[in-house]
C-alpha cells in the first residue's frame, strides 16, 4: 500500500500547538530527539537511528497511507513529534477504525508539562472528527510509568498486562476524561492582563 | 490568613505535601506529588482560593512556588 503523492496534507492547530506534516527539513531534529537516551529507551525499538536510517524511514512514511506523522510546534518552536498508524490490514489511517498513536516531546522543558497533552488532544480531536477512527490502541512498555499515567489521564483502559501493556480508548471515555485538561489548554492567551472570575 | 499562607495551604491541599515542603524552590516535576495531574488540581485550587482565572500560558509556565506567586501578582494578588 503506497501513495504516489505525500499522504499527510493535514495541518492542525488547537490547544496552543500546531501540528505540521513532517518534512525533509525536520529530519535532523527528529533524529536528534529520537536518539536522546531517555526517549530511545522507552521506544519498542530502542537502538540509535543513523542518518541513513532516518532518511529511509522518512522516504517510506511520506508515501505510506497507513501512517501520518506531524511535528508539534509550540510558541513558534518545534518541540516534538506525534503520529497515528492504522492497525487494520489494507486500510489507510484516515479509513481505519482502530489507530495506534505515538508521541514524544523532544524539548526537555516541555516533557511532563501539561502542554504535553496539547498535541494529543489536537490530534485525537482531529482524527475523531475527520477520520473513521472509533478507538485508539496504545502499546506501552510497562516500565514506562510516565506514559502509562499519561494515557490513563486521557481515559485509556488497560486491556492486556505484561512487559508490553495494551491500552484502549474510545471517544466517550476520551471526552469524559479530558474535560479539565482541554479547559485549561483552551483559554485565551492574554498574559499580563488581570482577569477576575467574578 | 495572609496571601502567602493561602498560597502555601493551596499547595499543601492540592499536592498532599507537608507545609514545610512548600518553599519558593519547590519545582514542578521534582517531587512525585507534583506531576501533571496534581498540577491541574493545583491550578483549580489556586483559582478557587484567590478567585482568579489563569491564562493558559500561566498554567503552562507555573513551574515553581516562586513562579506561582509571581504569576498571581499579575492578577492583583498582593503578597507584600
Q: Is residue B28 part of a domain?
A: yes
What is the mean predicted confidence (pLDDT) over A40-64? Answer: 90
Mean pLDDT, chain A, rounded, equals: 91
What is the share, in percent, of chain A residues with pLDDT greater than 90? 79
Which pLDDT score, from 0 to 100, does residue A191 have? 47
User: Are the beta carbons of B74 and A194 separated by less than 8 Å?
Assistant: yes
Selected residues 142-171 of chain A with any CB under 8 Å from a CB in chain B: 149-150, 153
B31–A contact, CB cutoff 8 A: no
What is the mean predicted confidence (pLDDT) over A67-82? Answer: 97
Which pLDDT score, from 0 to 100, does residue A197 have? 52
What is the share, in percent, of chain A residues with pLDDT greater than 70? 95
**CA–CA separation, B77 vs A92, rounded Å?**
53
Q: Is residue B34 part of a domain?
A: yes
pLDDT tens digits for range B3-62? 999 999 999 999 999 999 999 999 998 998 998 889 999 999 999 999 999 999 999 999
- CATH number where B43 lies: 1.10.1200.10
ipTM value of the model?
0.82
Option in A116, A184, A195 nearest B52 (CB): A195
pLDDT tens digits for range A126-169? 999 999 999 999 999 998 888 898 999 999 999 999 999 999 99
Tell me how close the Cα of B75 comes to any Cα of chain A, in angstroms: 5
Least trusted range by pLDDT, from A1-5, A14-18, A177-181, B39-43: A1-5
Q: Is B80 exposed, middle or buried (0-12, 13-18, 19+ CB in 10 A)?
A: exposed
Q: Do B8 and B22 meet the contact criterion of CB atoms below 8 Å apart?
A: yes
Which pLDDT score, from 0 to 100, does residue A10 have? 96
User: Are the beta carbons of A153 and B59 separated by less than 8 Å?
Assistant: no
Which pLDDT score, from 0 to 100, does residue B35 have? 87
User: Are the beta carbons of A198 and B40 separated by less than 8 Å?
Assistant: no
Model confidence band, residue A29 (pLDDT cutoffs 50, 70, 90): very high
Domains of chain A: residue spans and CATH:
12-183 (3.40.630.30)
Q: Is residue B79 part of a domain?
A: no
What is the mean predicted confidence (pLDDT) over A85-103? Answer: 96
Selected residues 56-75 of chain B with any CB under 8 Å from a CB in chain A: 56-60, 74-75
Which pLDDT score, from 0 to 100, does residue A100 have? 97
Model confidence band, residue B80 (pLDDT cutoffs 50, 70, 90): confident
Number of domains within chain B: 1
Tell me how close the Cα of B18 comes to any Cα of chain A, in angstroms: 23
**CA–CA separation, A127 vs A149, rounded Å?**
22
What is the mean predicted confidence (pLDDT) over A113-137? Answer: 96
**CA–CA separation, A88 vs A60, rounded Å?**
18
Which pLDDT score, from 0 to 100, does residue A193 have? 44
Tell me how close the Cα of A2 comes to any Cα of chain B, in angstroms: 39
* DSSP assignments along B1-66, one per residue: --HHHHHHHHHHHHH---GGG--TT-BTTSSTTSSHHHHHHHHHHHHHHHTB---HHHHHH--BHH
User: Are the beta carbons of A192 and B54 separated by less than 8 Å?
Assistant: no
Model confidence band, residue A198 (pLDDT cutoffs 50, 70, 90): very low
Domain enclosing residue B44, as ranges: 3-74
Model confidence band, residue A189 (pLDDT cutoffs 50, 70, 90): low
**CA–CA separation, A6 vs A118, rounded Å?**
25
Residues in B closer than 8 angstroms to A195, CB to CB, are 52-53, 55, 75
Q: Which three cell numbers stand for residue A172?
A: 466517550
Amino acid at each position: 500500500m503506497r501513495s504516489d503523492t505525500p499522504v499527510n496534507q493535514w495541518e492542525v492547530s488547537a490547544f496552543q500547538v500546531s501540528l505540521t506534516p513532517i518534512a525533509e527539513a525536520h529530519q535532523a531534529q527528529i533524529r536528534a530527539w529520537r536518539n536522546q537516551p531517555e526517549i530511545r529507551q522507552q521506544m519498542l525499538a530502542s537502538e540509535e537511528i543513523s542518518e541513513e536510517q532516518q532518511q529511509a524511514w522518512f522516504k517510506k512514511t511520506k508515501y505510506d497511507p497507513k501512517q501520518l506523522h506531524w511535528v508539534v510546534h509550540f510558541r513558534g518552536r518545534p518541540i516534538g513529534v506525534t503520529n497515528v498508524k492504522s492497525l487494520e490490514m489494507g486500510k489507510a489511517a484516515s479509513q481505519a477504525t482502530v489507530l495506534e498513536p505515538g508521541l514524544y516531546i523532544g524539548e526537555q522543558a516541555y516533557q511532563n508539562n501539561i502542554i504535553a497533552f496539547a498535541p494529543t488532544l489536537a490530534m485525537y480531536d482531529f482524527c475523531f472528527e475527520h477520520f473513521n477512527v472509533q478507538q485508539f490502541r496504545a502499546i506501552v512498555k510497562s516500565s514506562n510509568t510516565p506514559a502509562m499515567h499519561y494515557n490513563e489521564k486521557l481515559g485509556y483502559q488497560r486491556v492486556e498486562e505484561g512487559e508490553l501493556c495494551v491500552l484502549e480508548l474510545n471517544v466517550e471515555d476520551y471526552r469524559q476524561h479530558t474535560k479539565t485538561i482541554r479547559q485549561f489548554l483552551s483559554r485565551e492567551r492574554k498574559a499580563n492582563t488581570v482577569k477576575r472570575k467574578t | 490568613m495572609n496571601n502567602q499562607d493561602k498560597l502555601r495551604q493551596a499547595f499543601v491541599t492540592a499536592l498532599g505535601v507537608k507545609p514545610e515542603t512548600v518553599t519558593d524552590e519547590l519545582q514542578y516535576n521534582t517531587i512525585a506529588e507534583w506531576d501533571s495531574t496534581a498540577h491541574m488540581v493545583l491550578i483549580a485550587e489556586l483559582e478557587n482560593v484567590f478567585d482568579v482565572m489563569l491564562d493558559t500560558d500561566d498554567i503552562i509556565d507555573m513551574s515553581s512556588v516562586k513562579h506561582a506567586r509571581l504569576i498571581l501578582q499579575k492578577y492583583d494578588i498582593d503578597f507584600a
